[in-house]
Structures are given as structure tokens and as C-alpha cells.
Amino acid sequence: MRRSGQDFAAAGFLHLPGEILMKKKVVVGMSGGVDSSVAALILKEQGYDVIGVTMQIWQDEDRDVVSAHAGCCGLSAVDDARRVASQLDIPYYVMNFKEEFKKYVIDYFVDEYKCGRTPNPCIACNRYVKWESLLTRCMAIGGDYIATGHYARIIQLPNGRYTLQEARGIEKDQTYALYNLTQEQLARTLMPVGEYSKPEIRKIAEDHRLMVAHKPDSQDICFVPDGDYAGYLENEAGLKAVPGDFVDIHGNAIGRHKGIIHYTIGQRKGLGLAMGHPVFVVDIIPETNQVVIGENGDVFSERLICNRLNFMSIEDLTEPMHVKAKIRYNHKGSMCTIRKIDEDLVEAVFDEPVRAVTKGQAVVFYEDDHVLGGGSIC
């Protein structure tokens, strides 16, 4: 069973087995944060020929505007990543991925909101930019692997397929956001920090005096640093919010909304409805520009259907399986039975109703502690 990393002794690094210690070239995606910085450090200590790369994805050429974007790929990320690379004495480059990022992340983000869905741009970025595009360029310069600072572990199962195992520091596990990676991508990826908890990663950074040891984690979508998604869609993407009706679950109009881009399933705050008791968004209907409002119980679902499938630990779902499903990034997971109902459709029936199943979000299926596969909720 191949793993992306191994436990290290408390006082230092324990190298991987000899066959992995060959001088393989690995391109590390460096965000300027502590996780990717320590990933580069670990891999260098393990004997890899490490090259650091930061992906330039920002769409604005104004340095002051870009500097304000403190996300994983803004100018502050470049500055910090370059300093860490200098500390580690590894080559460092900035690669332009603006076109790929706009096509696969920003355009997708806008299109999903147009259709009344709530997208997850980080999943799209992982699959098509941080992996597909970076891996292509890595291969072009003779690289053997790419590596990131994600909290996940890559394993190879007895059936020969690669999958993601939950991180050892489960509280930071990021397998949900990586479910869409392909077999080829997994086979050429290293994720060394998945063997550690976040405090352990910061301790390694401290011990090696990396200047990002205590840098805060980025929280928001990198191209919407203030978290105002509707404002971005209106002001930057030119997507006009068209007011429409709030309706109850029977279709009766009960008020006016500001435009469907302002709402997501399960939302309670900011509705502007005086109903005398808490109410929630239970559905968004773009065809009629309506936002459906209901009680808390109306937000729960017994089943979902997903498409845009990607299977990881298995080649395909050929019979029903009882698995754990996560329907959002911070969801602990709920047990369900999944079955294929069409070529690109899976139905999941939950043991107990789950709250706020949201169109456009990913559902990721787990067997024990590893990813079976997943899809986009429809």
C-alpha cells in the first residue's frame, strides 16, 4: 500500500523507504502558507529534488488591487512563498494560470449562481487548475510528481486503484474538496502533511524557523476575499440580481427577494421577512426567479441525486452500497445507501434526514476512512 508520507520522529524526519528516495523531481504548489511550506520542507528532507511554484491566478493587473487579495495566490502569497523557498534553498517560480482559472473556476462560479445553484469553486480549482494544469506543466519540465499542503493521504488499494484516506489530523481533513481528482493525478501526487495534525505542522515550521510558522490560514474564496459573493457577481462578473417573489412551499407569494444570487439553501438570516418565527430558504427556482421559504423541518431531506460523478476507490458503482456521505465541507457525514440510477446519476437515500442538501455542492462518499467517490448535487 503506497502512502504519500510516513510518520516522522518527534525530533526530526524519518526518511521514506529506499525506492522512494531516488532523486525524483517534485513540483510543490506553494501558497505562501505554513502547510505548503512544510510540505516542501518535508520532501526536501526526504531526498526529493524540490521546485517551488506559486500559481498566478489573479485577473487584475493593478498591483494594489491584487495585493489586497490575501488569498492563496495573491501577491502576499508570492512574497511569502519566495522567502520560504529561499530559506529552503530550492528553486522557485511563479507560473501564470490566469486563463485556466477564469475558465474553470470563475466562469463556473458565475454560471452556477445563474442556475440557482451554490458552487464550490475550490473543488473546481483543485481538479482543473492546481492539478490538471499544474501537472501538465510539471511533466513538461521533467517533473515526476506534484505536491501540495493539503491534509489528506494518498493510498493504493489492493485493487490497484488510488484513493484518498482521511488525514491523520481529522479536524483539518480536506479529502472532501479533493474527491474529483483522477487516477492519473493521484498517482503523480504527494501529500506529506496529511500524516500530521495542524499543531504538528506549525511545530515543524517553528523548529526550522520558517517565517510563515504562525501565518493565519486563509478562510474565504481567494477571488472573493471579503466573502460578499453576491457583490462580486454583480460588480465584477456583471451578473445582475433580478428581484422576484418569495413563495411558501405551496407556491403562495409572501414577499419580495433581492435576486436569487443572494440566497442559498438553509439560509435564515438576511431574508427580510417578518413571519413572527424563524423561516428558511428551502429551494431556489431560477426558471421562475422564485425563492421558496419554509419551516426548519422543510430544510431536511431523505434523499439526493448527484451527477458529474467521479469514482476513486472503485471504477464504477455496480451495486448498492451503504456508505458515509458528506454534503458540505464541514459536514461530519451521514450514513446512506447509494445506487446508480443512470449512467451519470447516483441516488443516495439517507438513514436519517439530513439538513440543507444544496444544489451545486459536492456530495462525497466514504467507505471506512477513504473516498469512494462523489458528485455534484442536482
* Cα dihedral 223/225/227/232 (nearest 10): -50
DSSP of 23-71, one letter per residue?
A: --EEEEE--SSHHHHHHHHHHHHTT-EEEEEEEE------HHHHHH--S
Instruction: Count Cα neighbours of 10 within 13 Å in the Cβ-side half-sphere.
Output: 0
Look up residue 113 and give its three cell numbers: 449562481
Please give the grid coordinates belonging to residue 40.
516542501
The question of whether 222 is a catalytic residue gets the answer: yes
How, if at all, do strands 25-29 and 145-147 pair? parallel
Residue 172: DSSP 8-state: G
Phi, psi (deg, nearest 5) at residue 16? -75, 170
β-pairing, 370-377 vs 300-311, is antiparallel
Angle of CA points 326, 327, 333, to nearest 5°: 30
3-state secondary structure of 100: helix
Question: Which position among 125, 138, 306, 336 bears the catalytic label?
Answer: 125
Secondary structure (3-state) at 244: strand
Q: Which residues pair with 164 in a beta bridge?
A: 154
* H or E stretch at 123: helix 121-125
**What is the length of the chain?**
378
Closest CA to 79 of 52, 106, 59, 39: 52
Marked catalytic residue, from 138, 222, 306, 336: 222
> Beta partners for 376?
307, 362
Q: Confirm if 38 and 130 have CB atoms less than 8 A apart.
A: no
Q: Known catalytic residues?
A: 125, 222
